[in-house]
Amino acid sequence: MILTEDERRMRDGAEGPAVAAAMDLLIRYGHAVGAERLCDVRNVAGTMTQPSPVKARLVAEGGRDKAFAVINLDSDGDFAIPDMRVPTCQLQHGFGQDALDIVPYPRGNIELQADAEAFYGRHGVNILATCTPYQVGNLPTFGEHCAWMESSAVIYANSVLGARTNCEGIASTGAASLTGKIPCAGNHLAANRPGTHLISVDPKARVDSFLDWGMLGYFAGGVAGEDHPVITGDFARPDLTDLKHFGAAAATSGGVELYHIPGITPEAPTVEAAFGGAGNVPPATAAHAYGPAERRQVYETLNDIGDSRDVDFVLLGCPHASVDQVRQVAAALEGRRLSASTELWIMVPRALREIADRSGYTAVIRQAGGRVLTDSCPAMSRVAPKGTRVFATDSAKQAHYLPAILGIEAWFGTTRECVDAAVTGRWNGALR
Ligand code: F3S
């Protein structure tokens, strides 16, 4: 791999042993993925603070520096961790501290996480505590190279913002934060970014709601796998929350990190541009149709695990909700009261919670018996309200993952259907 003078200096220890270990890791990683060089990054997003038994043991043995060396740098060196070299943010936590007295979180994990938050904050990591950094001010510019974790954030950065990032891990983001480098491979290279699969939305399955964008994303992930779907056909213009849901779903049913919607996403002014040239556009006969049958199939898959219609728990805000989503939930709950047997949580970034509070939305939701919670989600903390057997959600991602993680039944539907289920305690959703 070709290294610049600056990269060689870092590798050889001119900036200390932690940076040298970080460069060593990136060079090994670069070789493994066939990168010819490293690219400069000034935007790193990682999930550094989540507690784990291994981390707890390392912290007990050698403190946070030791844990960072082993987990984030794949090094057994004994050295102090310097401040981050480039802007770095923390994504979602393992636990939301504001739910400590609501759900049975292990107190030791909360303490470990708080200690990690303080350590990373002191070293220059912005503690955003959300899987949606782009909702709280971390908006990379078009074409900017980044090193991000979290599949729903990665697909948003690549597709909606036109930034360039692979789906990184704990070690590579740790090394990137100390060096400002990441292997230049995969989504960083223009040649790897054109569309691969053409999906055509049939007018009879017109996509024009949050629910529909999530279902179309789930379909697109199933079709494209780890490649790049291109969406054409009959759909209403999506907004931020629609694209957030679409991307999270596509990264769930498949491993999609980049998609194009001609006329909507920035690298695809046209279908031809989405595929990297007119000659690469698949013939119409090769398009994957998304019609009423496919739409129903996705809906049934996401509701496959629902059996009992008695709903114990309603979970909204995956990926973390926008302020407008919180406003909609508050409007749907105004003057109503949750069923005595049902809990409702809406997960939001902690920075947006402040806006929801000051806009009065949190108070309305709380008055109805619901909760606006921050920092994490049940899939991360692996905890739901005590006794939950059946949950309902408007998120294709949570409907896919949570039943397997917690061994519970799931219903998937519109936000309004979920709110109604929280009020009545019964699931009455249906595909319309
Ligand atoms: Fe975010 Fe949890 Fe969903 S981290 S994307 S709310 S699974």
The per-residue pLDDT for range 149-170, each reduced to its tens digit, is 999 999 999 999 999 999 999 9
Ligand 1 atom nearest to 152, measured from its CA: 5
> Which atom of ligand 1 lies closest to the CA of 395?
3
pLDDT at 107: 83
Percentage of residues of the chain with pLDDT beyond 90: 92
422 Cα–ligand 1 center, Å = 20
Residues whose beta carbon lies within 6 Å of some atom of ligand 1: 92, 131, 152, 248, 318-320, 347, 377, 379-380, 397
Write down the pLDDT at residue 74.
Answer: 95
> What percentage of the chain reaches a pLDDT higher than 70?
100
Atom of ligand 1 nearest to the CA of 398: 7
Relative to beta strand 38-40, strand 181-183 is: antiparallel
CB atoms within 10 A of CB 386: 11
Nearest CA to ligand 1 atom 6: 318
> 100 versus 358: which is more confidently predicted?
358
pLDDT above 90 for 358: yes
Q: How confident is the model at residue 48 (pLDDT cuts 50, 70, 90)?
A: confident
- Confidence class for position 385, pLDDT limits 50, 70, 90: very high
Q: Which structure tokens are listed for 163?
A: 């930034």
CA of 377 to the centre of ligand 1 (A): 6
Q: Which amino acid residue places its CA nearest to atom 1 of ligand 1? A: 319
- 70-124 pLDDT, tens per residue? 999 999 999 999 999 999 999 999 988 888 778 777 888 888 999 999 999 999 9
Identify the band that residue 174 occupies on the pLDDT scale cut at 50, 70 and 90: very high
Please tell me the distance between residue 218's alpha carbon and the centre of ligand 1 in angstroms: 15
CA–centroid distance, residue 364 to ligand 1 (Å) = 24
CA distance 166 to 189: 10
Query: What pLDDT does residue 8 have?
Result: 98
What pLDDT is attached to residue 30?
98
Residue 412 has pLDDT above 80, yes or no: yes
Q: What is the pLDDT of residues 182-219, one digit of tens each?
A: 999 999 999 999 999 999 999 999 899 999 999 999 99
Nearest to 131 by CA among 317, 391, 276: 317
Q: Which two three-digit tokens encode residue 403?
A: 């039943």
Q: Which of 152, 155, 245 to mutate to test the pocket of ligand 1 (most atoms within 8 A of CB)?
A: 152
- Ligand 1: distance of its center to the CA of 307 in Å? 24
Tell me what the mean pLDDT of segment 323-333 comes to. 98
Q: Which of 110, 103, 144 is nearest to 347 (CA)?
A: 103
| Three-class secondary structure assignment of the chain | CECCHHHHHHHCCCCCHHHHHHHHHHHHHHHHCCCCEEEECCCEEECCCCCCHHHHHHHHHHHHHHHHHHHHHCCCCCCCCCCCCCCEEECCCCCCHHHCCCCCCCHHHHHHHHHHHHHHHHCCEEECCCCCHHHCCCCCCCCCECEECCHHHHHHHHHCCCCECCECCHHHHHHHHHHCEEECCHHHCHHHCCCCEEEEECHHHCECCHHHHHHHHHHHHHHHCCCCEEEEECECCCCHHHHHHHHHHHHHHCCCCCCECCCCCCCCCCHHHHCCCHHHCCCHHHCEEECHHHHHHHHHHHCCCCCCCECCEEEECCCCCCHHHHHHHHHHHCCCCCCCCCEEEEEECHHHHHHHHHHCHHHHHHHHCCEEEECCCHHHHCCCCCCCCEEEECCHHHHHHHHHHHCCEEEECCHHHHHHHHHHCECCCCCC
Pull the structure tokens for residue 143: 């074409």
Which numbered atom of ligand 1 lies nearest the CA of 317?
A: 6
What is the pLDDT confidence band of residue 38, given thresholds at 50, 70 and 90? very high
Q: Which atom of ligand 1 is nearest to the CA of 319?
A: 5
Give the residue, by CA position, lying nearest to ligand 1 atom 5. 319
Ligand 1: distance of its center to the CA of 23 in Å? 30
Q: What does the block give as tokens for 431?
A: 């595909």
Give the angle 373-378-380 at the CA atoms, nearest 5°.
105
Predicted local confidence at residue 100, as pLDDT: 79
Label residue 229 by pLDDT band (50, 70, 90).
Answer: very high
Position 109 scores a pLDDT of: 87
**Kindly report the CA angle at 168 between 129 and 225, in degrees rounded to 5?**
110
Ligand 1, residue 378: give the atom nearest the CA: 2
Determine the Cα–Cα distance for residues 104 and 416; give it in Å rounded to an integer. Answer: 28
Averaged pLDDT of the chain: 96
Q: How many whole angstroms separate alpha carbon 131 and alpha carbon 317?
A: 11
Q: Whose CA is nearest to atom 2 of ligand 1?
A: 377
CA–CA distance, 86 with 178 (Å, rounded to integer): 7
Q: Phi-psi region for residue 128, left (φ > 0), alpha (ψ -120 to 50) or beta?
A: alpha
